Amino acid sequence: MATHRLPAAPETATQVLSRDTPPVLRIQPGDRVVVESLDAWGHLERQEAPGAVTPYRFEDRRGHALTGPIEVAGAMPRDVLSVGFDTLETAEWGWTAAGRRDDAFMRSMGLEGTDPAWLLWELDSGAGTGTNQYGHVVRLAPFLGVVGLPPIEPGEHSTTPPRTQGGGNIDCRELTAGSTLFLPVTVPGALLHLGDGHAAQGDGEVGGTAIECGMTTTLTVDIVRDAPLRSIHAVTPTSRITFGFDADLNRATAEALGAMLTWLQQLHGVERKVALALASSVVDLRVTQIANHTWGVHAVLAIDAVGQG
């Protein structure tokens, strides 16, 4: 197993998902990679005041400032890529913005006609805390918002919506250190893209952004050919997780729950309606995010939720 370093540099950066982007690193299955990424907007300098404009990696800012793609030797469609998050260390500062859009959702909460709110955070990774300009202190639980593979179709694709095929802007707060995300491979070599560091986020990412920050992530990448599911799923130190993504909340929910029922069937050897009855007692449904024009829902099953008598 080799360890590679991938810095956040102009030659390693992209802001689109594309199978046509040349890989910036080639690794073997089982290799470890230390990946640096800028915050989602690609700030090259820290903000000195909340909302201050600083130089960006991409002046046109069409998508998230990502690092990659990383080619995994031998990865092919029908394989599953496992991305294990060993450590995640935030940069020393981050930001949050809310109320930047004037849409029906904002107006439903009485926020029409107001200026955006900006928070500027000092991040102390050693203490595990973030402090904003108002003196609010929150616990950090860092993870990457975007971990994904490009769509099968050629051309450039937006980094904004999460996708059933390839993942991407999943924004799941459960994917902290010690977790592993499983992504069905969409294109030869997988072409893994990473970024959009979040120092902390609530389920839903309700204001449209989390504590956005640069991140240094150590991850182990492998190919899995006996994964329990053919859809995007994850295992954390405490839970099994399945995902659904759709512009319709009902369909996103059905996708996440349906995958979890399949997993329960495999784990406990029961028919599907029995799995649904069991899920009603032990599975949590959570809204992953509402920020990206596509609903994200994840179903969570605690690893110790169901025992055998």
Model confidence pLDDT, tens digit, residues 90-121: 999 999 999 777 777 777 878 877 788 999 99
Say what the pLDDT of residue 107 is. 79
* 37-84 pLDDT per residue, tens: 999 999 999 999 999 999 999 999 999 999 999 999 999 999 999 999
- Sequence-ordered alpha helix ranges (H) in 181-298: 249-268, 272-282
195's tokens = 């970024």
Mean of pLDDT over the chain: 95
Please state the rounded mean pLDDT for residues 24-39. Answer: 98
The pTM score is 0.95
Say what the pLDDT of residue 309 is. 62
Say what the pLDDT of residue 146 is. 98
- Sequence-ordered alpha helix ranges (H) in the chain: 104-108, 249-268, 272-282
* 283-303 pLDDT per residue, tens: 999 999 998 889 999 999 999
Please state the rounded mean pLDDT for residues 147-162. Answer: 96
* 222-256 pLDDT per residue, tens: 999 889 999 999 999 999 999 999 999 999 999 99
- Cα–Cα distance for residue pair 246/269, rounded to 1 Å: 29
**Quick count: other Cβ atoms within 10 Å of Cβ 220?**
17
* 179-232 pLDDT per residue, tens: 999 999 999 999 999 999 999 999 999 999 999 999 999 999 999 988 999 999
Encoded amino acid at 261, one letter: L
Go through the domains of the chain in sequence order and give each one's CATH number: 3-224 (2.60.120.580), 233-302 (3.10.28.20)
The upper half-sphere exposure of residue 20, i.e. CA atoms within 13 Å in the direction of its Cβ, equals 6
- Cα–Cα distance for residue pair 142/89, rounded to 1 Å: 7
3-state secondary structure (DSSP) of residue 219 = strand
Cβ pair 143, 173 in contact under 8 A:
yes
